[in-house]
Amino acid sequence: MKTKIKLLAIMLLSCIAFTTSCTEDDVALAEDYLGVNNNFSSFKWYTSGSRTTYADSAKYINLNSYLAFYDISQNVLTRKWSIPASGKFLNKEFTETDSIYDAFIIPGDAVSSEDDLINVLFTEAGLKEVYLTDTFKDSVKGGVKMGDVWQVEQLFSIDVFANTNPEAKVFKYDYSVDPDNPTLEEVLSLTAADMPSEENMASWPTVSIEAGEELVYVDKSSLGRPTAVKWYLEGGKPDVSNKDTAIIKYNKLGDFTAFMQSSRSGGDTIPTYFSTKLIPLNIEVLPSTKPFELTGKATLEDGVISFAVTGEAEQAVNQKGFFTVHVTNTAAGFDQNIAIDNVSINSADATIIEIKLGEPTYNTDEIEISFAGGNIVSVDSRVLQDFDAIPVNFDIGENILSANWAGFEDSTTNWKGAFLSGYWVGPTNDDNGSTTSPIFMQSDEQVHPTLGGKYSLRYQFDLAKTMKLQGSSFSKPNGIAAGTYRVSYMIYLEPGNTMKNFRSILQAPYQRIEWDIESLERGKWITISQDITTGAIASGKRLDVSVEPGVNTGVSGTQTMYLDNLSWIELVPRN
C-alpha cells in the first residue's frame, strides 16, 4: 500500500512540475490506476512549486500569483480549506500560458472549500494564511481526537511580495559658490505614485549641465523588497549602472533621457520580479565653459600611454609631433626622448587619448610625457591645453612568489609555525611564545582593505631576544633565477610602535635586506620596497623575517607589527 501511495505522489508531482494546474480528473485517474485501498487512513498534501518546495508549508510568491493546494489524504470524513478574505478561488481552466487570472476567478466571496484540489489567487501583499482541516474515523499521524473523530489541521504560511516600484532622486553639482568644491542640488524626486510616460515628456523638468559634468542617481526604491537596481542612461558614461548611487558623467552634447529597473531575486524564498519606470527628466548637455585638459594619471600598458581628458575628444589628427615621451634609466645611462608611432582617441571611450610608442620600454625605466602646441579638439570645440612633463605609471610585472604563501593566507593548526603553512618560527623549535600568545602568527586583526586576502602576519613581542620567522617555502618548487628584483612588503605599524628596523634574510646565496621603518607613519598600511641583486636561489632555500634587539636600540615595551603581500618582481635591465 505504501508503494501505491508513493506512485500517486509521483504522478501528482509530475502534474505539479509540468502543468499549470491539476484537475480532479488528474487525481481520480491516478487513484483508479493505483487502486487505492480505502481502508487505509492517512493525512497527506502537496502544493504547487518546484521539486524542492512542493512539500513546504511556507510559501513565497508574487502579488497576483496563485498557489495550488492538493489534499490527497485517504479515508477523509470531512475536509475544509480556509483562505484569507483577499484570496480568490480559481477554476481549473487556465493554462501555463496565462499570467492574468481574472477570467478564471470563481464568482462569489467564498473563503472556504471542501474540494480536494484548490487554486488560490493572492490579490493582497503581506503574510497570509491558508488552513486545511480534515477529519478521519481512524487515528492518523498528528491527529487530535475530537469526539468520535480524529482531526488534523495544517497551516500554510504564504508571504505575498508586493510588486517592486522604482523610486529615485537625481542630483546635479552646483559650481556657482565654490567651483573646486561643488555641492549637490536635487533636481528630481521620483516617487512610487509617479507613473511617467513618453506622451508627457514635454512637461518634464529639464536639467542643463555642461559637457564633462555629472548627474547623481540615487535609488530610493523600497516597495516590494527590491534586491537590486539598474539604471539605463542615454548619453551617460557609463550608460548602464547597477550601483545604488550612480555617478554618471555626460560628455556628449545633446538631449538625453533615462529609465531605471527595480528588481528582486534570491532563490526559493524571494520570488523573482522586476519593474521599470521612466525617469521624468530631460537632460540637456551644453558646451563646456571649463578648460579642456588632462585629468588624472598617465598609464602605460602594452606599449600604449593613455590619459583621460575633461570631455570627449572629436579629433586628434597629426598630433604625435606635439607630444614628448622622455625615458630615464640611470643604471643603463639612458636619458632621452623616444619615438611615438601615432596618437589616437580610444574607440570605446572618447575621453581617453592614446599614444602608441615606437620603441620598447623596460620596467627599470622612468617615463614622462608632456604636450605642447597641439590641436586635439573636443566635441564641443575646445582645444586640449598644454601640460608639462608628468610621470607615466605602469605595472612593473608579476610577483614570482606563490600568492597564498606571500600573502600569509595558507593556514595550519601548528602554533610553532605561526599557524602558517610554509613557515616556521626559530631559531629553536620551542621559540614562538605560547599557544595563547604566539610572537609570530597568522592574524585577521589588520588586513589591507584592497588586497583581497583574509589574513596578514602579526609580530607582537617586547624585543627581549631575536625572533625569526623562517620562510621555508620561499623558493619552492623550482628555485629562483639569478637577477635583480624589486622586493616589497605591505606594512602596518600599530600606533605606539617605536621599532626602527627589521630584516629579510636570504639563506643562500646569503643576503641581508635591511628595512628602515623608524620614520614610517603609524596606524596605516604602507608599501615599502627596495631593489636587490642575487645569484640563483635553489629550491628549498629560505627567506626569513628577523626582528633583532641590536638594530632596535632604545625600543621598549610590546611592539605590534603586521606584514602582508611579500612581493618579488624581476627587473629587466635596459641594454
Task: Quick: pLDDT tens for 349-370.
Answer: 899 999 999 999 999 999 999 9
- Give the CATH class of 2-161: mainly beta
Residue 34 has pLDDT above 70, yes or no: no
Coil, helix or strand for 523? coil
- 117 by DSSP, 3-state: which? strand
Which range (22-31, 249-258, 374-383) has the least confidence? 22-31
Count each helix (H run) and each strand (E run) in the chain, helices first.
Answer: 3, 40
Q: Determine the Cα–Cα distance for residues 179 and 528; give it in Å rounded to an integer.
A: 37
Going by DSSP bridges, is the β-strand pair 440-443/456-461 parallel, antiparallel, or unpaired?
antiparallel
Segment 546-569, tens digit of pLDDT: 999 999 999 999 999 999 999 999
As a CATH number, domain 403-571 is: 2.60.120.260
Placement of cell 630584516 in the chain: 503
Mean pLDDT across the stretch 63-75? Answer: 96
Residues 464-490, mean pLDDT to the nearest whole number = 96
Is pLDDT of 1 > 90? no
User: Scanning the structure block, which residue is given the C-alpha cell 582593505?
Assistant: 449
**% of the chain exceeding 70 in pLDDT:** 93
Report the share of the chain in percent with pLDDT over 90: 84
pLDDT at residue 28, rounded to an integer? 47
Strand order of the β-sheet with 45-47 is 45-47, 65-71, 117-122, 87-90
Confidence check: pLDDT of 36 > 50: no
Instruction: Assess contact for 404 and 398: CB atoms under 8 A.
Output: no
Q: What is the pLDDT of residue 311?
A: 87
What pLDDT is recorded for position 271?
Answer: 95
Rounded mean pLDDT of 165-182?
94
CATH number at 168-286:
2.60.40.10
Give the pLDDT confidence of 525-542 residue by residue, as tens digits.
Answer: 999 999 999 999 999 999
Q: Is-contact 185 230, C-beta < 8 A?
A: no
Q: Give domain 294-394's CATH number out of 2.60.40.1130, 3.60.15.10, 3.30.505.50, 2.102.10.10.
A: 2.60.40.1130
Of the candidates 53, 58, 48, which has an alpha carbon nearest to the alpha carbon of residue 130?
A: 58
Provide the mean pLDDT of the chain: 92
Cβ neighbors of 317 (< 8 A, separation 6 or more) are none
Q: What are phi and psi of 101, to 5 degrees?
A: -115, 10
Distance CA 186, CA 520 (A): 43
For 396-444, the pLDDT digits (tens) are 999 999 999 999 999 999 999 999 999 999 766 668 999 999 999 999 9
> Which segments within 91-143 are labelled E, that is strand?
112-113, 117-122, 126-136
Please report where in the chains the cell 617605536 appears, as a residue: 498
Which pLDDT band, with edges at 50, 70 and 90, does 89 fall under? very high
- Kindly tell me if the per-residue pLDDT of 6 is higher than 80: no
Is residue 31 over pLDDT 80?
no
Query: What is the model's pLDDT at position 11?
Result: 44
Q: What average pLDDT does range 484-504 have in this prediction?
A: 98
Instruction: Take residue 569 and report the three cell numbers written for it.
Output: 618582481
Q: For the ranges 132-136, 249-253, 430-434, 556-560, which has the lowest average pLDDT? A: 430-434
- Give me the torsion for CA of 440, 446, 450, 456, rounded to 10°: 10
Domain with CATH 2.60.120.260 in the chain: 403-571
Exposure string (b/e) for 428-463, b if CB count within 10 Å is 16 or more?
eeebbbeeeebbbbbbeebbbeeeeeebbbbbbbeb
For the segment 337-344, the average pLDDT, to the nearest whole number, is 98
What grid cell was written down for 198? 513618453
For 184-196, the pLDDT digits (tens) are: 999 999 999 999 9
Domain(s) labelled CATH 2.60.40.10 in the chain stretch across 2-161, 168-286
> How do residues 289-325 score in pLDDT, each as one tens digit?
999 999 989 999 999 999 999 888 999 999 999 999 9
- Estimate to the nearest angstrom the gap between the alpha carbon of 280 and the chain centroid: 30
Residue 18 pLDDT level (bands cut at 50, 70, 90) = very low
Q: How far is residue 235's CA from residue 58's CA, in Å, rounded to a whole number? A: 46
Please compute the mean of the pLDDT values over residues 95-124 and round it to a whole number.
95
Q: Identify the pLDDT of residue 106.
A: 97
* 113 backbone dihedrals φ, ψ, rounded to 5°: -155, 150
Bridge-partner residues for 162, per DSSP? none
- For the chain, residues classed under CATH 2.60.40.1130 are 294-394
